[in-house]
Amino acid sequence: MRTSQYLLATQKETPAEAEVISHQLMLRAGMVRKLASGLYTWLPTGLRVLNKVAAIVRDEMNKAGAIEISMPVVQPGDLWVESGRWDDYGPELLRIKDRHNRDFVLGPTHEEVVTSLVKNEISSYKQLPLNLYQIQTKFRDEVRPRFGIMRSREFIMKDAYSFHIDAQSLDQTYQRMHQAYCNVFERIGLSYRPVIADSGSIGGAVSHEFHVLADSGEDDIAYSDASDYAANVELAEAIALGQVRAGSAQLTLVDTPGAKTIQAIATLLKCDVKQTVKTLIVKADETSEHEFVALVLRGDHSLNSIKVEKLALIASPLQMADEAAVKAKLYCGFGSLGPVGLSIPVIVDRSAETVADFICGANTEAQHFTGANWQRDVKTYVVEDIRDVVAGDPSPDGNGTLAITKGIEVGHIFQLGDKYSKAMNCGVLTETGKHDLLQMGCYGIGVTRIVAAAIEQHNDKFGIIWPQSIAPFSVVIIPMNMHKSALVKEVAEKLYKDLCDVGVDVLFDDRKERPGVMFNDMELIGIPYSVVIGERNLDNQQIEIKNRKSGEKTLLEVDNLLEYIKNLG
């Protein structure tokens, strides 16, 4: 491709709206343009990258035994009513009507369509397992699209759906897809981590997310420094810090005027915050005889709302009690609450239970207890895991300690079980001739999001640094002063033709621009190698090739160049 016949579309200035680096660079490098909130046009350079990512994903899917299909973007609303998601999915599901006033949706995902397909096409266990996938545009009407391509409303996703006669078969395919996902991210050249993801709401189901590690990620990932354990902080298990032990101190009431926060108490009583516990009051579940439940955490820990919501006693979604209601019920405000002598159910975090002789509110304004102990001073309570893990916690698998990093979710795999096959009655005849519902798995990769995530991970002050695997071009020819030098032009043209002939993705910058302009544009776009052709080196029969990532320049004989480029990674 010649730049003179291409839509390069680079920009010097960053549009004001671009917040994250990938968004800024994608706009400046001429990869995408915004059409409306969360909607982007992909320009030639961006599309080249997108297509390369898609090709790798497709290849790994095929290798893993998945079969490609293509389903409609527009789906009948009836299917969503059937699965129950017409009501459950909420406003993120964009609903439209056709000319006959029938309901349709723009597909945010395709469980309904694919289940409907398989229900009609598959009738025998002999046809299983089956794994179908597509690479296709999805639409989710996000409340707040942001970070450019990272969280847009329209995006491209690879979604696969597998169908099985039993859980064992599902698990086999699940493991195969897990491996295929690892292969994809390794081939692209991203630093990533598979993490344990939410599995609670569908009961017994298994789920993993794949995260590209980057500081701008929206998720916190906890991982072990000594094993493969990694989980989203939302659900990483927090194990007890130390043993439960009996204390020796006397339960003592102390005055703590004005001290309403844990920090203030610790300062006032000159103790470690780890010696305190804090008590939070939340709404109880409707089925409970109580209105409120008390949650007790060690002073320095924070509540994990996802874990708490899963407890039967607690209302879901989680609702914190308001202070006026707490005062009416318990006769004191937030700052002086404690588990001793409380008239509502008490749930204690595992690590809070290990604190002996602790300090807590006395349920009287401006007073606290010191030397409090479980069992002795608080008779009835339940111990649960209700806090967020923090860096330095022991890993739940018993190996090493946890560290926390930011991640961008680029893949999510899930053992669905029979959720959809049951709702839509999708089954087959088994070996014994009886009708059985299918077990399903679903597996998503955000193809467009990978492009943005790759940039978040690979950039410098000059622009993007593409891994060779997904670079829009493998190499760019930058001629110096070609419009004056017949020799430069001749060498550049010949090299361009030779590279095209051997199938290298080459860009030839034949614009009548100053060298600096060309260098800057090509570094911004992030092409892995630049071949600089100038009279200065041609006089010695040499050509310079520069590595975008390392900045390293190599001088080569003109005659050896073609071979050298063909052998580049």
Partner RNA sequence: CGGUGAGUGGCGCAGCUUGGUAGCGCACCUGGUUUGGGUCCAGGGGGUCGUAGGUUCGAAUCCUAUCUCACCGACCA
Minimum gap (Å) between residue 431 Cβ and RNA: 35
Here the tokens at position 431 are 């070996």
Tell me whether residue 286 or residue 539 sits nearer to RNA (CB atom).
Answer: 539
Gap between the Cα atoms of 337 and 363, Å rounded? 5
Gap between the Cα atoms of 161 and 175, Å rounded? 14
Query: Tell me, what amino acid is at 421?
Result: S
Minimum gap (Å) between residue 511 Cβ and RNA: 9
Tell me whether residue 10 or residue 364 sits nearer to RNA (CB atom).
Answer: 10
Taking the alpha carbons at both ends of the chain, their separation in whole angstroms is 20
Tell me whether residue 100 or residue 144 sits nearer to RNA (CB atom).
Answer: 144
Tell me whether residue 218 or residue 255 sits nearer to RNA (CB atom).
Answer: 218
Query: Tell me, what amino acid is at 320?
Result: M
Gap between the Cα atoms of 26 and 455, Å rounded? 8
Gap between the Cα atoms of 236 and 198, Å rounded? 9
Query: CA angle, 210 as apex, 209 and 214 as ends, to 5°?
Result: 125
Minimum gap (Å) between residue 146 Cβ and RNA: 4
Residues found near RNA in the complex (CB under 7 A): 10-17, 19, 36-38, 90, 92, 142-147, 218-219, 317, 409, 412, 462, 480-481, 483-484, 514-517, 519-521, 523-524, 532-537, 544, 546, 553
Tell me whether residue 19 or residue 121 sits nearer to RNA (CB atom).
Answer: 19
Tell me whether residue 37 or residue 252 sits nearer to RNA (CB atom).
Answer: 37
Gap between the Cα atoms of 427 and 441, Å rounded? 14
Minimum gap (Å) between residue 444 Cβ and RNA: 8
563 contact partners, CB below 8 Å, separation of at least 6: none
Minimum gap (Å) between residue 290 Cβ and RNA: 22
Tell me whether residue 178 or residue 412 sits nearer to RNA (CB atom).
Answer: 412
Gap between the Cα atoms of 346 and 337, Å rounded? 12
Minimum gap (Å) between residue 200 Cβ and RNA: 11
Query: Which alpha helices (DSSP H) does 189-295 contain, by range?
Result: 262-268
Tell me whether residue 12 or residue 434 sits nearer to RNA (CB atom).
Answer: 12
Nearest CA among 365, 321, 366, 367 for reference residue 344? 321
Query: Tell me, what amino acid is at 526?
Result: G
Gap between the Cα atoms of 419 and 71, Å rounded? 20
Minimum gap (Å) between residue 427 Cβ and RNA: 25
Tell me whether residue 33 or residue 260 sits nearer to RNA (CB atom).
Answer: 33
Minimum gap (Å) between residue 108 Cβ and RNA: 9
Nearest CA among 365, 403, 361 for reference residue 378? 361
Tell me whether residue 317 or residue 433 sits nearer to RNA (CB atom).
Answer: 317
Gap between the Cα atoms of 359 and 252, Å rounded? 9
The sign one gets for the Cα dihedral 344, 345, 351, 353 is positive
The sign one gets for the Cα dihedral 521, 524, 527, 528 is positive
Nearest CA among 355, 358, 349 for reference residue 390? 349
Minimum gap (Å) between residue 40 Cβ and RNA: 10
Minimum gap (Å) between residue 11 Cβ and RNA: 6
Residues linked to residue 282 through DSSP beta bridges, in sequence order: 293, 320
Here the tokens at position 369 are 């207890």
